[in-house]
Amino acid sequence: MTFDIKRPDASLKEPLQNRIDNLTKPKGSLGMLEELALRIGLIQGTLSPELRNPHNILFAADHGIIADGVSVSPKEVTWQQLGHFAKGGAGINFLCNQHGFKLVLVDAGVDYDIPAGHGIIDMKVRRSTRNFHYGPAMTADEMELCLQRGAEVVGDVHASGCNVVSFGEMGSGNTSPSSMWMHLFTGIPLADCIGAGAGLDNDGIRHKYEVLKESLDNYRGDGSVTDIMAWFGGYELVMAVGGMLRAAELGMLIIVDGFIMTNCILAASKLYPEVLDYAVFGHQGDESGHKLVLQALGAHPILHLSLRLGEGSGAVCAYPILQSAVKMINDMDTFADVAVTKYF
């Protein structure tokens, strides 16, 4: 699947910056709100940006690598939590409710027959990926299907009037494929890409490193971006990549969540670097490696809240800051409006 992602129209940069500089404040004094307003204005191609109908799209799937003891989270937690999200009592639910996000739940490849009737979109590619310790996690066809399905969900959400989207995930073991992508796409040493995930202790992290190092040694692919994505990836991760690329193609604002989603936009940017023009980074979390991957992307996360949950939580938490950025540019007076002396 190919995506036609246009770079935002750079000719608007100067008028947007002028507008921001002419608001009644010392130049630059609203700091990151100014950077965000500029970014959102450029994405939307307007001096009066607006955020409409925000959605958090959460993809869930299982991972063959879980069999090798890389997570404290039992595999069944994936489907149990997906059901829990549908009922409304999980971490991402209260945040979506608080900030007016619609939560879209997608079964990308959970190893369980999710009963119909709970509002969970059935896009199951297969019941869990294969174990990448010994071979590719998914086929090239499965990866393509994931890109298409991720794009399809975003297309539907966009058609409902949404112009700002975040992505979340649920998948016991999914910090492992994320770490593999991070290492292979940034060149950062593998050990620095691996962390506690859902709560491994130091021995657990050492074991996770051994398993992932051996998996790397066993890698027999061609080293291309798509091959690395398929060999190590998860169905929910590749769907998120497809969703991000489609969101950029549609000119939507993407709010990036934690370690896992940061590695998804990293992978997306290896295919289409322009995707980064449409992204803001919600937070820097506590999963070891998150800070480094953000640095590798040149990203400036909005919040630092020591989160390490995923599900889209850090992206949704950052939403009020984005709202403030948009309010700033729309609602503040300029020096000329109120005859305050412009002193610079």
Ligand X SMILES: Cc1cc2ncn([C@H]3O[C@H](COP(=O)(O)O)[C@@H](O)[C@H]3O)c2cc1C
User: Binding ligand X by CB under 6 A: which of 34, 107, 142, 169?
Assistant: 169
Exposed/middle/buried for residue 227 (C-beta within 10 Å: 0-12, 13-18, 19+): middle
Alpha-carbon distances, residue 42 vs 15, 272, 298 (angstroms): 10, 18, 18
List binders of ligand NIO among 198-257 (CB under 6 A). Answer: 198, 257
At position 181, the amino acid (one-letter code) is: W
The residue range among 81-89, 240-248, 267-275, 303-311 that interacts with ligand NIO, by the rule CB under 6 A, is: 303-311
User: Binding ligand X by CB under 6 A: which of 44, 56, 81, 263?
Assistant: 81
Q: Report the alpha-carbon distance of residue 128 to residue 132 in Å, rounded.
A: 12
**Of all residues in this chain, which one has the CB nearest to ligand X in the complex?**
197
Question: Which of ligand X, ligand NIO, none does residue 68 bind to, with CB < 5 to 8 Å depending on kind?
Answer: none
Q: Shortest CA distance to 295 belongs to which of 266, 261, 257, 264?
A: 266
List binders of ligand X among 181-220 (CB under 6 A). Answer: 197-198
Q: Does 77 sit near ligand X (CB under 6 A)?
A: yes
Q: Does 23 sit near ligand NIO (CB under 6 A)?
A: no
User: Binding ligand NIO by CB under 6 A: which of 8, 136, 242, 258?
Assistant: 258
Q: Does 289 sit near ligand X (CB under 6 A)?
A: no
The residue range among 16-24, 45-53, 73-81, 323-331 that interacts with ligand X, by the rule CB under 6 A, is: 73-81
270, containing H or E segment: helix 259-271
Q: What is the CA radius of gyration of the chain?
A: 20
Q: Report the alpha-carbon distance of residue 227 to residue 79 in Å, rounded.
A: 27
The residue range among 20-28, 186-194, 308-316, 323-331 that interacts with ligand X, by the rule CB under 6 A, is: 308-316
Q: Report the alpha-carbon distance of residue 126 to residue 116 in Å, rounded.
A: 17
3-state class of 250 per DSSP?
coil
CB of 317 to ligand NIO, least distance (A): 12
Q: Report the alpha-carbon distance of residue 318 to residue 315 in Å, rounded.
A: 5
Q: Does 259 sit near ligand NIO (CB under 6 A)?
A: yes
Q: Does 297 sit near ligand X (CB under 6 A)?
A: no
Q: What are the two backbone dihedrals, phi and then psi, of residue 102, each rounded to the nearest 5 degrees?
A: -85, 135
> Does the annotation count 274 as an active-site position?
no
Q: What are the two backbone dihedrals, phi and then psi, of residue 103, each rounded to the nearest 5 degrees?
A: -100, 120
User: Binding ligand X by CB under 6 A: which of 237, 309, 318, 322?
Assistant: 309
User: Binding ligand X by CB under 6 A: which of 44, 163, 172, 262?
Assistant: 172
Q: Report the alpha-carbon distance of residue 287 to residue 279 in Å, rounded.
A: 20
Question: Which of ligand X, ligand NIO, none does residue 287 bind to, with CB < 5 to 8 Å depending on kind?
Answer: ligand NIO
CA atoms within 13 A on the CB side of 182: 32
Q: List residues near ligand NIO by CB under 6 A.
A: 175, 197-198, 257-260, 285, 287, 290, 308-310
Which residues belong to the active site?
311
Q: List residues near ligand X by CB under 6 A.
A: 71, 73, 77, 81, 169-176, 197-198, 309-311
